[in-house]
């Protein structure tokens, strides 16, 4: 069985990318596709390595009935470029960093998450304090990314 693997990336893997991982996972589960679509998240920096999801992001997830229990921050590693077909970055700085790190023969589609639904960046709520907006933006991007994956699988 082949899997579609999706990786969400932000700076430290405690706010935006965990939102992506768990919102997307919830959508995949509701679509009945957990057997074929897998997801994770990471950060470009190891500054929060091993830490739990920021309580404010976890709170947004909880408001929507989604748990992120057990998630620990991790840093992007070279193997991620082989393991994931889609790498969805939260902002342009994350995207530039990931593109610089990607090997020349990388086959993963590396884009901004919001490129799947019209473009833009997911503002970092760690600094803006607007975790609700980050959740809404991530949800919109995840919905469009899942639609894209499902349409490609049906071709």
Is residue 124 annotated as part of the catalytic site, yes or no?
Answer: yes
Query: What is the rounded average pLDDT of the residues 113-125?
Result: 97
Is residue 148 annotated as part of the catalytic site, yes or no?
Answer: no
pTM for this predicted structure: 0.97
Instruction: pLDDT band for 117, please (50, 70, 90 cuts).
Output: very high
Is residue 16 annotated as part of the catalytic site, yes or no?
Answer: yes
Exactly one of 80, 124, 137, 140 is catalytic; which is it?
124
Backbone φ and ψ of 86, nearest 5°: -125, 130
Kindly state the helix (H) or strand (E) to which residue 141 belongs, with its residue range.
Answer: helix 131-153
The DSSP 8-state label assigned to residue 47 in this structure reads: T
CATH superfamily for 4-153 is Response regulator (3.40.50.2300)
Q: Is the pLDDT of residue 155 over 70?
A: no
Domain boundaries, the chain: 4-153
């Amino acid at each position: 069985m082949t899997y579609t693997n999706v990786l969400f990336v932000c700076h430290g893997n405690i706010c935006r990318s965990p939102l992506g991982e768990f919102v997307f996972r919830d959508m995949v589960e509701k679509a009945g596709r957990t057997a074929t679509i897998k997801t994770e998240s990471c950060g470009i920096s190891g500054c929060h390595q091993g830490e739990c999801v920021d309580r404010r992001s976890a709170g947004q997830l909880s408001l929507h009935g989604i748990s992120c229990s057990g998630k620990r921050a991790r840093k992007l590693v070279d193997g991620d470029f082989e393991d994931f077909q889609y790498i969805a970055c939260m902002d342009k700085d994350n995207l530039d960093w990931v593109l610089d790190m990607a090997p020349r023969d990388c086959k993963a589609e590396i884009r901004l998450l919001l490129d799947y639904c019209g473009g833009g960046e997911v503002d970092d709520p760690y600094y803006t304090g607007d975790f609700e907006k980050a959740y809404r933006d991530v949800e919109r991007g995840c919905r469009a990314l899942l639609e894209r994956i499902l349409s490609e699988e049906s071709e």
